[in-house]
A and B are shown apart, each in its own frame.
Chain A
Amino acid sequence: MNKLKRVLSGTLALALAASMMTACGNDDSSAGGSNSGTQGGGKDESGKTVVKVYTFTDETQGMLDGFLEDNPEFAEKYTFDITLEATASTYQQKTMSALASDDAPDLFLADADYAKKFAALEQTASLADLGITIKDEEYYSYVLDFTTIKGQRMALSHQAAPGVVLYRRDYAEEVLGSGDPAEVQKHMDTWDHFVETAEAMKEKGYYMIAGIDELKRCFMNNRSSAWVNEDTMEYQLDKETVSQFLEVTKKLADEGCTSDVTPVQWNANWYKGMKDGVFCFFGCSWYLHYTIKPNCLAEVSTGKVDPKTGSQEADEKDYKEGNGSFGKWGIIAGPAPYFWGGTWWYGSKKCLEDGTKDAVKQVIEYFCVNDDSLLKVMQKKGDFTSKPAVNEKLTADPESSTYKFLAGQDWYTIFREAAPNIDTKTTCLYDDEFNTAVDNALTNYITNGMSLDDAIAGIATEVKSNLKDVKFPE
């Protein structure tokens, strides 16, 4: 009996230990979520070569499906394995750690906030490595400059995202006397005029903008220098523009021209303002299609409404006049040129070795280099491309919901005029971090009663903690 007990307990202990070991060993297969488990360059069940794709947007799936339909020969040889992660910080971390591992993606995408960071990674292959040749003059310079590291072009974007101002025609008519874009632009062409218009709006009971961060991108893109000098890694502050930004915003907030005295982008009151009560929003090309158009609707039939923020996804049939503020919007260039976002495509060094280089090259060329395919894709999406020549051919479709949303205005004209003015001299590797610090400076100055100088000095104090390679003045 005693012996039996001993044997039993011994076996149990061993089983316990063994189960632990197997638990460790099995981890790899379960990680990665949607991945089929095949590495990039490997073969799937049907013998096709797997091209591993990491993306932050659900657009990519649809775009690549369209690509496969258009390229049947490619579809016979390759298949895409797409990993989607929509949260910006998680996506960055996930992609960077995947790139540094054996199971690296062959093709990956980035948003403007971290496009430069991704371009600077060791594992990113340059366009020259991929064998992609482009003519620089065919693109808006900002699209290329943005991801150029030490003279090497690292990525391409199919999109250009010139910043514009979207405004309510009905409010303009009531307050400014005319809802016509050319007339409204006259009331919004400088910051002084902008503030005057805001005060007029206030008198009639309308807010000029939603939160205190609405003007941020427009002002920040018009500084005289980037936050960090790329060569010397020194901190640079354009105090004049930053003070102007804080002061204009504080004036608007104090006078009751903002619906909220907090940063509200991507929050409930931002989306609420799109439905009613707020005169203008600072948006861009993709923002027009994906953010303001669905969120101006009072009701959507899809039932896809974020319970926390109220952000909604709409169905084509929801887009009709009378639903929220649909059809009451106009588009103008606004007080200053700027840009907001973009989608850049990268090949990894891994794809150079695992036999997917040609596939990656073909995909990037299809979306970002060849005029015909680019025109076809973007005309369908109603989006704005990175190549001026292609944009000349894009036409607003009078049947499209965006056309009706803008009460018949051709948005391409505004984008075509705005895009060449975009300048990337104000962008640096760490814009993500500085954007947060600027938000905090705004809050400190406007709601916490800090002095202007202290609030601006606080920007450097805040980012000093996590930007160890940047030199700050003593």
Chain B
Amino acid sequence: MASSFKTRAKLEKNHFGYIFIAPFFITYFIFQLVPLIDTFRFAMTDAVAWYLKPNQDISFKGFENFKDVLADPNFRDAFGNTPLMWIMGFIPQIGLALLLASWFTNEKIRVKGQGFFKVIFYMPNIMTATTIGMLFYTFINRNGFIHNFCVSIGYIKDPRYPISSPTFGRSVIAFINFWMWYGQTMIVLIAGIMGINPSFFEAASIDGASGWQTFWKITMPLVRPIMTYSLVTSLIGGFQMFDVPNMFATGSNNSAFSHQITTIVMYIKRVGSTGSMSVSSACAASVYLFIATGICSLVLFWLMSDRAEAKAKRLEKKRAKEAALLEGGDL
């Protein structure tokens, strides 16, 4: 009797859980899932922005938009620029974040003023991307100190000319992304490392492992889930890169390398909200973005998952089953 009462109480508690998480799912459904499905739907039509033609007849076009978008050299360039700039920024970002995180959590070093440094490193993330984009734009434009530096070392012969190297442009964008996000990644990694059982580190130090060995043999394998998380969220954010490069490429901020830093989302915005406002083509480009992000995330998950461990677990389960069978056999 007592035990059945307990189960009932447990069930009801679960019920409350559902109510608590319901708001998220309702909002998700209305504001995310429905528009997501609509994106696929509109990509197959010839729809333009509703406010350009409020009473338009939308007709079905099949996969024509997908073909058009893929044939557009501007789209292909944007599709190349985006992951390139992300990778250029992410490698130093995760590297520095790991280094700082392992220093800050290292019991032997005991960095002083940790809180201060964490705040300083996190700071760029608090500012809006537009502000930072603007700041860096003033550095590299005609009157900025980077431009003046390039002139003084003779990289730019005539000061009237702008910096036009696409590699330079991409590096600036990559640097801004790196600088804005390494603090955030560092905090996440610190949390991951703090979650590792300290007795591992203790055992390692008793066994005489060097700092380098401890890092590679203990810290790295055990923060892998957190690494996967940072990698995948950063990848998604990277594919959707927009605000910073947009500050360098539009309006009165147009740079000589604008085309080489145009990202997929900038392309989507231009197609959907300027000129003939072809929302349907913008949707088709968005679907490509969705697919690319999905595939890359899955590949990353697969690469980062500990396949050896999973195999071992499966093996263990199998053995346990066999053992149970044997036990039953004995009885």
Contact = CB atoms under 8 A, between A and B. Distances in A.
Interface of A: 6, 9-10, 13, 16-17, 20, 89, 93, 96-97, 99-100, 121-123, 253, 256, 258-269, 308-309, 430, 432-433, 436, 439-440, 443, 447-448, 461-470
Contact of A258 (B53, B143, B160, B271): B160
Question: Which residue, A93, A100, A468, has most C-beta atoms of chain B within 10 A?
Answer: A468
B55 A122 contact: yes
A430 B138 CA distance: 30
B195 interface: no
Contacts of A448: 164, 256
Interface in B279-303: 281
Interface string B266-281: 0100110111111001
B51 A433 contact: no
A447 B164 contact: yes
Given A265-B252, A268-B143, A468 B51 contact: no
A261 B16 contact: no
A466 B161 contact: no
Contacts of B117: none
A465 B267 contact: yes
B73 A461 contact: yes
B51 A96 contact: yes
Contact of A440 (B12, B19, B254): B254
Interface in B111-142: 134, 138, 141-142
A66 B115 CA distance: 60
B162 interface: yes
A17 B252 CA distance: 44
Given A123-B54, A436-B254, A464-B72, 18 more contacts: A6-B16, A10-B19, A13-B20, A20-B23, A93-B51, A93-B273, A122-B53, A122-B55, A261-B158, A261-B161, A262-B162, A263-B254, A433-B275, A447-B162, A465-B74, A465-B75, A465-B267, A468-B281
Contact of A269 (B53, B73, B143, B256): B143
A465 B160 contact: no
A10 B15 CA distance: 10
A261 B276 CA distance: 31
Interface string B50-87: 11111100000000000000001111000000000000
Contacts of B252: 265-267, 309
B73 A463 contact: no
Interface of B: 12, 16, 19-20, 22-23, 26-27, 49-55, 72-75, 134, 138, 141-143, 158, 160-162, 164, 252, 254, 256, 258-259, 267, 270-271, 273-278, 281
Given A9-B16, A269-B142, A439-B254, A256 B160 contact: yes
Contact of A100 (B54, B270, B276): B54
B161 A447 contact: yes
Contact of B270 (A17, A258, A465): A465
Given A100-B54, A430-B275, A465-B74, A262 B142 contact: yes
Given A309-B252, A447-B164, A465 B271 contact: yes
B183 to A, nearest CB: 27
A97 B51 contact: yes
17 contacts: A13-B16, A89-B274, A93-B51, A96-B51, A100-B50, A123-B54, A256-B160, A264-B142, A433-B274, A440-B258, A447-B161, A447-B256, A461-B73, A461-B74, A466-B274, A466-B276, A466-B277
A288 B51 CA distance: 35
A55 to B, nearest CB: 18
Question: Which residue, B138, B267, B274, has most C-beta atoms of chain A within 10 A?
Answer: B274
Contact of B72 (A20, A263, A269, A465): A465
A97 B277 CA distance: 13
Contact of B23 (A16, A461, A462, A463): A16
A100 B50 CA distance: 8
A439 B252 CA distance: 11
Contacts of A122: 53-55
A443 B256 CA distance: 6
Contacts of B72: 464-465
Nearest to A433: B275
Contacts of B26: 17, 20
A57 B134 CA distance: 25
Nearest to A213: B254
Contact of A469 (B22, B51, B271, B276): B276
Nearest to A463: B275
Question: Which residue, B52, B134, B258, B267, has most C-beta atoms of chain A within 10 A?
Answer: B52
A468 B276 contact: yes
Contacts of B20: 9, 13, 16
B113 to A, nearest CB: 34
A16 B270 CA distance: 38
Which 8 residue pairs of A and B lie closest in terms of their CB atoms, listed nearest first?
A466-B275, A97-B51, A100-B51, A100-B54, A96-B51, A468-B278, A13-B19, A467-B275
A318 B276 CA distance: 45
Contact of A462 (B49, B54, B74): B74
A447 B163 CA distance: 9
B203 to A, nearest CB: 43
A429 to B, nearest CB: 9
A445 to B, nearest CB: 11
Contacts of A9: 16, 19-20
A61 B8 CA distance: 69
B278 A466 contact: yes
A466 B73 contact: no
A262 B275 CA distance: 24
Contacts of A466: 270-271, 274-278
A93 B50 CA distance: 11
Nearest to A266: B252
Contacts of A467: 275-276
Given A20-B23, A443-B256, A465-B72, A260 B142 contact: yes
A464 B271 CA distance: 9
B88 to A, nearest CB: 21
A465 B164 CA distance: 24
A410 B142 CA distance: 37
A20 B28 CA distance: 13
A20 B25 CA distance: 13
A439 B254 CA distance: 9
A17 B23 contact: yes
A465 B54 CA distance: 22
Contacts of B73: 461
B64 to A, nearest CB: 11
A264 B26 CA distance: 49
B6 to A, nearest CB: 13
B273 A20 contact: no
B255 to A, nearest CB: 8
